[in-house]
Amino acid sequence: MNDVANAAQSWKVTLPCTRAEAEALDGDIAAFALMERPPVLMTSETAEDEAVWRLDAYFEGKPGAAAIKLLRSLVPSAAGAKPLVEALPDEDWVTMSQQGLDAVTAGCFHVRNIATDPALPGHVNLLIEAGRAFGTGQHETTAGCLAMLDRMRRVGMRFRNVADIGTGTGLLAFAALHLWRRAHAIASDIDPVAVEISADNARANGIALGDGPGRLALVTAAGADHAAIVGRAPYDLLIANILAGPLIELAPSLCALVEDGGTIVLAGLLNEQADAVLAAYRAQGMRLAERSDRGDWPTLRLRKRPSIGWKRPRRINRRARGEAPGFGSI
């Protein structure tokens, strides 16, 4: 489906909607998950009439007829209305569209997107300001991973070597280091801008960069295809919050990075994709230890079954590239 015709320009589509429709759009829209560049959706009351609401959808590139039709299906009350489709000036529209986002609380974590928002007492407060990279905590998959990590810590799980593949803004790696403060950690993303933003976010949240216990190493990599990622293996905790396609494609290389008895946390997939993702990881010796759903988005915790006898793996095969070109963070 040709959802976006021209990725060089940012565009906005506006449609009227009811308050009930606006409230129903709170959270992630499963239909957009299959798009290469899903839009950012914002709903608000109109200035002229507080009883009338509007939907603004921000696209990277001019939206095609299929994308506009999908938007219309989300707000049936706008069936007779003509959508306002306009090109935006050359500004950071992602930041602009996210300025009004509320803070997110998941488990022990409270994630703010605006520095002036108050911290929440009794929680681990993290600041991930809206910007060029995604993963601000608003996405159900990111919040689901935060809650999963918190539960793992509460039941006494301990980790010393952590990898976050497809890190986005670095948020999940920061969370892991807050829970397991002496762990070694590395985070990667296929997008060098995401790695740059993650470094800025690490400094803003007091996360030390570099090697060693309690520090975070950052690398640009497609999947697990980086010497630093392979060289630090095996991991006792690996996190991958990306998409179902690359999760399946990367299953052999990601599982090879994890030690016997180690844990993988997977997210970024839809309910209907969970069986296929699980099958790919079970084929690599993983078993499902826990599943937690937030709307249409499951978070999976897998554990690697121990091998027996001479077949027991000692280290990852360093010749395996572990690459999934074209895939990055969600």
DSSP state of 89: P
- Is 142 annotated among the ligand-binding residues? yes
Do the annotations mark residue 189 as ligand-binding? yes
Cβ atoms within 10 Å of 255's Cβ, excluding its own:
22
Dihedral sign, Cα of residue 194, residue 199, residue 202, residue 203: negative
Contact predicate 77/55, CB 8 Å: no
166 is in an annotated binding site: yes
Cis peptide bond N-terminal to 298, omega within 30: no
Query: For tokens 């050359």, what's the residue?
Result: 90
To 5 degrees, how large is the angle CA 126–CA 199–CA 234?
A: 90
- List for the chain the helix, strand, coil content (%; round to 5): 30, 30, 40
Quote the CA–CA distance of 307 and 328 in Å, as a whole number.
31
* Amino acid, res. 144: G
What's the CA gap between 263 and 176, in Å, rounded? 13
Is 241 annotated in some ligand binding site? yes
Q: Which residues are annotated as a binding site for S-adenosyl-L-methionine?
A: 142, 166, 189, 241
Q: Which residues are annotated as a binding site?
A: 142, 166, 189, 241
